[in-house]
Structure 1
Amino acid sequence: MARSKNAYGLDIHPLRDVLYAELHSRPFQVLPSPAKVSCLAVMIGPEKKQAEFEHFCSLYGYFDCVAPDEDGVCFEVDFGHFKIRRDNHLEFTSYMITQTQMATSETPFEHNALSCLPLDWLSTLPGKTIAAFHVVVEDARSTPEPDLGLVKRYFEGMRLVGSRPQNGDAQVWTSFQLHSDGCGRFLIYNKHMSDSQLGRMVQRVVEIETYRLMAMIALPMARTYNAELMQMDEKLARTTASLSDPSEDSDEQRLLGELIDMAAWVEAARAKSSYRFSGTRAYHELILKRLSELKEDEVSGHLTITEFMTRRLTPAVRTCNTADKHLESLSTRIDRVSDMMRTQVEMSIQSQNQQLLTSMDRRSKIQLAMQHTVEGLSVAAISYYSVGLLKFLIEAVYDKGVEFDKSLVIGLSVPIVVGGVWFATRKIHKRFLLLAKAREEKDKQV
């Protein structure tokens, strides 16, 4: 908001209005009794979000209403004989269809709010439906409590879960099972609640059922991974035992290949399950919060919703958490075994290098001895050819008439030539040694 658009000329942060609106983006409904509510939760991938919004907008055309131009967090639309609320969540989109003007029927679930929607619109709804259930609200403020046998018949004889939420101001019945129409059922009797209180309580019940199903999506995955993780544990234990046993001649290449395969499987499993398991924990925390807000009292002989969730949902969430922690633990242990194996390989390489250096040292000494031998032979060879050349020179001088003992001069030249050749060879050898030493010192300084 600019300075000119507020009464005090304040420089307003550009996100202030958005932050105010966020707190009211999902308002509680005001729900009269009696009423019928049908709820859907449809899992939508990011690539189908726009298609789902366009499909929702097409519903406006069935009732000659103007559709919104842009998608939003929450839409509440009154189509006259029913209302629909659409909530956009991260993983799913929820629909709550509310009908307050109902025809009389023998059973509460004979007609439901889903019948208000066009069948072809429902059948073409994008995404996968994870939750579909009906909530029937009966007005019991001026009538006695319902007969338990009659309530059980409404749920097709299934075992009931019931409680008195809001400190006894209402009575809630459900079975947490699918019925003949493929949907779940909740029956609520309003005894002392206002329309706004009833709307908030129904919203909590709807969220508990939806989040329960979203939290349990990871359970089949967790069970599959738990079975495979047991095999991975045994395989890693065998690999570790073979590395720690000095008497066993282990194939390091094979063991390293096994570790790489196990590490690849674990990381692939973590990539697939990490988001799902973290989602399970988040949904479970939301469920516990909603359950505490219900403030349930017990109905004699029946589990409350909180007790049912504690006994059935919490173990499932723990199974998911166990699989997640097991994957993390296995990844850590594989890293440790890999480090141990790398250390063992490095020590083996160092031992091989030490043996190689020792062998090279021996070969260097042999080569040095051979070099000295070759130097001696080279001195003899060079001296032999040098004396031969000198002999030609002496003979040439003798033939020119210079009188001397030719044999004596040639004989005396031999030790002189040999000594000169040996001295020159040693001089050259020392020079190369000095050059090598200077290069070595230079490399150390660098």
Structure 2
Amino acid sequence: MLNELISNELISNELSESTLLPLSSLSKIAIHPLREKLYNELHNRPFQSIASPAQLTHIAIQHQGKLKQQEHEFISLLCNRFQVSSPAESMPCFYQDFGLFSLRWERHLEYSTYTFIHQAPLTDQPFIKNAIDYVPSNWFDKMPGQVIAAVHLVIESEDIDKAITHKVEQFFDNMSLIASAPVNSQAKVWSSFKLHEDGFGRFLIYQQDLSTAQLGRLVQQLLQLDTYRLMATLGLPLAQEINSELNQLDIQLQQVTTYIALGTDKTDRELLTQVSKIAAKVEDYRSQSTYRFSATNAYYDVALQRMDELKEEEIPGYMTLQEFLMRRITPAVKTCQTAANHLEDISRRVTRASDLLRTRVDMVLQEQNQILLKSMNHRVHVQMRLQQTVEGLSVAAISYYGMQLFETMLTSLPTLGIKYNHELVSGFAVPIVIVCVFVGTRLVHKRLMKGLQ
């Protein structure tokens, strides 16, 4: 019993020592090459802490996965101008304080975002002077890419209940507003989701008692939501264009299947040519739209997630951001999904029509092959009859020459002292020579046929 207790204690000590590995022991174990990158991915693009009051300008530039070198040179130009360190070329996210403004830059798969932050009280009414006004204009004009989203955002710290009575419509050029109370009513957000005279959209936030981290998270959610809802609807014009073309292809394909089912004066070659043209157009549309429609679904899913994260509550008299965006974005996304499904449906039907035509062509080819085989069999039969005729003539010819040789041999016998009746011997030799020649030719014929088999 004592020995068992001692052994159990030793085992438990060994296990405890083995579980408490020193940090240096990891250096002796093979480390996955992506381990550190995967750890850092969780902390990539963190929420920016923002103090109130503040003004922000957010611009999303579409680069379609290109312009990486140009973007790095563009940002480095600003950093060199203010004599600050430039970001590494491989960095996907960059933040730098330039004094009157801060810049937060993020590069995504097909677009990049530039967020300019000016943290100071307003000197005038909202949206009169914005964060981008503190950025050197001659640098901003050299921004590479195409603008897909641009919005001004103003943050003010005021009594939430008092802020409701403000005439915020005047800050949005008296446009219809959408508003809600996110973060469990600790803030109030207004927007028109329309472009104003300066080409920017607008967000106005009144907040109370939000920490800098909460406010930064709210701002990022709103800016991302505005960007993602535009990227999600980017495939709508393409879907509308493709839908009209797909309707025409649908009619053409229906005509082809009707021709196949009922049979017309059109040849299979003409039908195959028409189906091939439809298939080529379908593949062309698929190459144009597959990525765009897949991206639309992805952006839509992220936009829905951002809406849920806002935790909105309704402000009487206004639609919430989620209600407004869902009514506008969802039909656009459904249109893209319908176009993608229609495209796949036509592609499958084209494949089936091609299979049916190939089956018809194969049947025609089989019938032609059967006719050809019958013709070949007839020719072989005729050839065999001709060969038998030739063989009969060849037996007669060989027998004739054989008798000539035999006659020559007989003429030499008297010189040897042999007497015989020439006519009698010659007469009896004729059938013997013919039989020998016939048997010989048949043996040769059978040997050759056996070799062919």
For the 8 Å contact 1:3–1:12, the answer to whether it is kept is no
Per the TM alignment, residue 285 of structure 1 is displaced from its structure 2 partner at its CA by 0.5
Per the TM alignment, residue 397 of structure 1 is displaced from its structure 2 partner at its CA by 4.3
For residues 128 and 53 of structure 2, the distance between their equivalents in structure 1, rounded to whole angstroms, comes to 15
Q: Does 1:261 align with 2:277?
A: yes
Per the TM alignment, residue 317 of structure 1 is displaced from its structure 2 partner at its CA by 0.6
Per the TM alignment, residue 203 of structure 1 is displaced from its structure 2 partner at its CA by 1.0
Secondary structure (helix, strand or coil) at the match of 1:297 reads: coil
Residue 147 of structure 2: aligned partner: 129
Residue 173 of structure 1: aligned partner: 190
Per the TM alignment, residue 249 of structure 1 is displaced from its structure 2 partner at its CA by 4.5
Q: Does 1:234 align with 2:246?
A: no
Q: 1:364 to 1:192 in 2, by over 3 A?
A: same
For residues 282 and 354 of structure 1, the distance between their equivalents in structure 2, rounded to whole angstroms, comes to 56
Q: 1:26 aligns with which of 41, 45, 52?
A: 45
For residues 68 and 401 of structure 2, the distance between their equivalents in structure 1, rounded to whole angstroms, comes to 98
Q: Does 1:329 align with 2:324?
A: no
Structural mapping, 1:92-111, within 5 Å? 92-105=111-124, 107-111=125-129
For the 8 Å contact 1:134–1:183, the answer to whether it is kept is yes
The amino acid of 2:54's aligned partner reads A
For residues 404 and 29 of structure 2, the distance between their equivalents in structure 1, rounded to whole angstroms, comes to 113
For the 8 Å contact 1:218–1:276, the answer to whether it is kept is yes
For the 8 Å contact 1:35–1:137, the answer to whether it is kept is yes
Structural mapping, 1:83-232, within 5 Å? 83-105=102-124, 107-141=125-159, 144-147=162-165, 150-232=167-249
For residues 430 and 187 of structure 2, the distance between their equivalents in structure 1, rounded to whole angstroms, comes to 130
The amino acid of 2:62's aligned partner reads M
Residue 67 of structure 2: aligned partner: 48
Report the count of equivalent residues.
433
Residue 441 of structure 1: aligned partner: none
The amino acid of 1:415's aligned partner reads P
Per the TM alignment, residue 15 of structure 1 is displaced from its structure 2 partner at its CA by 4.6
The amino acid of 2:57's aligned partner reads S
For residues 347 and 142 of structure 1, the distance between their equivalents in structure 2, rounded to whole angstroms, comes to 80
Q: Does 1:67 align with 2:86?
A: yes
RMSD of aligned C-alpha atoms? 2.6
Secondary structure (helix, strand or coil) at the match of 2:433 reads: helix
Secondary structure (helix, strand or coil) at the match of 1:177 reads: coil
For the 8 Å contact 1:3–1:9, the answer to whether it is kept is no
> Over residues 219-265 of structure 1, what are the superposed CA-to-partner deviations in whole Å (9 max), with x where a residue is unaligned?
111111111111111122222222222x4344222222222222222
TM-score normalized with structure 2 length: 0.88
Per the TM alignment, residue 384 of structure 1 is displaced from its structure 2 partner at its CA by 2.2
Residue 444 of structure 1: aligned partner: none
For residues 142 and 315 of structure 1, the distance between their equivalents in structure 2, rounded to whole angstroms, comes to 34
Per the TM alignment, residue 208 of structure 1 is displaced from its structure 2 partner at its CA by 0.4
The amino acid of 2:181's aligned partner reads R
Q: Which deviates more, 211-220 or 357-366? A: 357-366
Residue 320 of structure 2: aligned partner: 304
For residues 165 and 371 of structure 2, the distance between their equivalents in structure 1, rounded to whole angstroms, comes to 91
For residues 170 and 146 of structure 1, the distance between their equivalents in structure 2, rounded to whole angstroms, comes to 11
For the 8 Å contact 1:161–1:303, the answer to whether it is kept is yes
Q: 1:35 aligns with which of 54, 73, 79?
A: 54
Which sections of structure 1, spanning at least 5 residues, go unmatched?
A: 438-446
For residues 39 and 420 of structure 2, the distance between their equivalents in structure 1, rounded to whole angstroms, comes to 127
> Over residues 311-348 of structure 1, what are the superposed CA-to-partner deviations in whole Å (9 max), with x where a residue is unaligned?
11011011111111222222222222222222222222
For residues 250 and 414 of structure 2, the distance between their equivalents in structure 1, rounded to whole angstroms, comes to 99
> Over residues 34-90 of structure 1, what are the superposed CA-to-partner deviations in whole Å (9 max), with x where a residue is unaligned?
211100111124441022012111111222222234441221211122111111211
For residues 37 and 416 of structure 2, the distance between their equivalents in structure 1, rounded to whole angstroms, comes to 122
Residue 82 of structure 1: aligned partner: 101
Per the TM alignment, residue 167 of structure 1 is displaced from its structure 2 partner at its CA by 2.7
Q: Does 1:433 align with 2:452?
A: no
Per the TM alignment, residue 407 of structure 1 is displaced from its structure 2 partner at its CA by 3.2
TM-score normalized with structure 1 length: 0.89
